[in-house]
Amino acid sequence: MTTTSRVALVTGGSGGIGRVTVERLVADGFAVAVHYAGNRAKADDTVAQIVAAGGEAVAVGGDVADEIAMTELFDTVEAEFGGIDVVVNTAGRMILGPVAEFDLDQFDAMMRTNVRGTFVVSQLAAKRVRAGGAIVNFSSTVVKLAMPTYAPYAATKGAVDAMTLILARELRGRDITVNVVAPGPTATPLFLDGKDDATVERLSKAAPLERLGEPADIAEAVAFLAGPARWVNGQVIYVNGGIA
């Protein structure tokens, strides 16, 4: 069992914002459980790099919407590191399309990962995270931008906002903060997939800082909530360069 003082679990930690968040938390001295859904090789690669650099990490897999799989995952992390202090939910899916034409099977699949998955992991985190810890869920700035074709995705993230802010109040007296990070346009495969160059260029100029966010920008906000931000609780933190 490790003697590391703080332990983090990052869902979707094998790629995109998740992987950079893992690396940022390791830099802050966390031992990290790197969750993956389908690509174990990427998670193993992340863990190998962390361990080679002297950090502590383990790869853990499973469907975030499967409560049995996630219970086993939490058990594994606790057995490996002795407890859990921070849970970060970056796992998610984004499928775009107009409401009138949107495929309901795709809508259900996105709801399963983004809403049920966040709920399942948050439920377990509420029971398992140690005093002084933090739960950080992921939403999106698109919830308040009202952009065409984003309605199904924004609906799932609006649900994340609601459940997270209520959970913060339900954990009264536990010394556990619960917040949401809501990125704006960020240069990740999830965001860039299916967008032509003109669309990416237009979105990159939307914020006053006139660039897309980088995963490191988002990870910095997560690290703040996971560490020193003990008086930030029950909030949606928009990390979007001022786009809204």
Task: Give the pLDDT confidence score for residue 3 in this predicted structure.
Answer: 43
Residues 6+ apart with CB under 8 A from 160: 114, 115, 118, 137, 138, 139, 180
Residue 243 domain flag: no
Residue 219 domain flag: yes
Tokens of 102: 């949107």
CATH, residue 154 = 3.40.50.720
Residue 2 domain flag: no
Do 232 and 34 form a contact (C-beta atoms < 8 A)? no
pLDDT digits (tens, 9 = 90+) for 15-64: 889 999 999 999 999 999 999 998 899 999 999 999 999 999 999 999 99
Residue 221 domain flag: yes
Backbone angles phi, psi at 55, to 5 degrees: -90, 180
So which residues are the catalytic ones? 153
Residue 1 domain flag: no
Using the predicted structure, report yes or no on whether residue 2 has a pLDDT greater than 50.
no
Residue 63 domain flag: yes
pLDDT digits (tens, 9 = 90+) for 113-170: 999 999 999 999 999 999 999 999 999 999 999 899 999 999 999 999 999 999 999 9
Do 183 and 213 form a contact (C-beta atoms < 8 A)? yes
Residue of 165, 120, 172, 106 lying closest to 139 (CA atoms) = 165
Task: Give the pLDDT confidence score for residue 128 in this predicted structure.
Answer: 98
* Dihedral sign of CA atoms 61, 235, 125, 163 in order: negative
Tally the domains of the chain: 1
Residue 215 domain flag: yes
Domain that holds residue 119: 7-238
Task: Give the pLDDT confidence score for residue 67 in this predicted structure.
Answer: 98
Tokens of 169: 């109040």
Mean pLDDT computed over every residue of the chain = 94
Helices (H) and strands (E) in the chain, counts: 10, 7
Residue of 83, 109, 89 lying closest to 97 (CA atoms) = 109
72, 123, 140, 222 from 69: Cα distances, Å: 5, 13, 26, 25
The stretch 89-99 carries a mean pLDDT of 95
pLDDT digits (tens, 9 = 90+) for 155-199: 999 999 999 999 999 999 999 999 999 998 888 876 777 778 888
Using the predicted structure, report yes or no on whether residue 74 has a pLDDT greater than 90.
yes
Do 214 and 187 form a contact (C-beta atoms < 8 A)? yes
Task: Give the pLDDT confidence score for residue 32 in this predicted structure.
Answer: 98
Using the predicted structure, report yes or no on whether residue 4 has a pLDDT greater than 60.
no
Residue 244 domain flag: no
Using the predicted structure, report yes or no on whether residue 212 has a pLDDT greater than 90.
no
Task: Give the pLDDT confidence score for residue 204 in this predicted structure.
Answer: 79
